[in-house]
Amino acid sequence: MHELSLVAAVVDEATRVLAREGASRVLSVRLLLGVLSCADRDALEICFPLAVRDTALAGAKLDVVPEPLTLDCRACGERGTSWDPILVCSACTSAAVDVVGGRDLVIASLEVV
């Protein structure tokens, strides 16, 4: 249950973005939740309202968008996606794959005003 730390980091970053953008409030936050991100959607949604209280994100909407694993196969060159955290090429079943997406929790965008 480290999601409170995660949403606190979102608040820190959003606060910096507001200053940089000359904006004053965040209306919504869009997060990409990678299959291998070690974060839980429900826990993020529970923690978010607590973390944004008394900040420039107060009242902001949270959109959590699940992101599949994206694998590049070194054997056949195929790029594939998977909702299972199994590191195997979906085309040739080789295990020689590089994870190029779905590993992290990412702040995709902020809506600011």
Partner 1 sequence: MCETCGCGQAAVHSHGGGPAHVHTHPLSPPASLAPIELASVSLAGSVPIAGAAAGASERSRHVALGRAVLADNDARAEANRRWLAERGVRMVDLISSPGSGKTALLEATLDALSERLRVAVIVGDPETDNDARRLRGHGAEVRQVETAGSCHLDANHVTRHLEELAGDGLDLLVVENVGNLVCPAAFDLGQGARVALLSVTEGEDKPLKYPGLFHRADAVVITKCDLIPHLRWDRDACLANVQRVRPDVRVFEVSAWTGQGLSAWVDYLAAGGA
Q: Which residues make up the interface to partner 1 (CB under 8 A)?
A: 1-2, 5-6, 9-10, 12-13, 17, 21, 23-25, 27-28, 30-31, 35-39, 59-61, 63, 65, 85-88, 95-97, 99, 103-113
CB nearer to partner 1: pick between 39 and 70:
39
CB of 61 to partner 1, least distance (A): 5
- Of the pair 23, 79, the CB lying nearest partner 1 is at 23
Least spacing, CB of residue 92 vs partner 1, in Å? 14
Half-sphere exposure of 4 (CA within 13 A, CB side): 4
Cβ nearer to partner 1, comparing 59 with 77: 59
Structure-block tokens of residue 71: 């694998």
Q: Where are the beta strands (DSSP E) in the chain?
A: 26-34, 61-67, 69-73, 79-82, 97-101, 105-112
Q: At a CB cut-off of 8 Å and minimum separation 6, what does 108 contact?
A: 30, 31, 32, 65
If the CB atoms of residues 45 and 111 are measured against partner 1, the closer one turns out to be 111
Output the six-digit token pair for 83. 């909702």
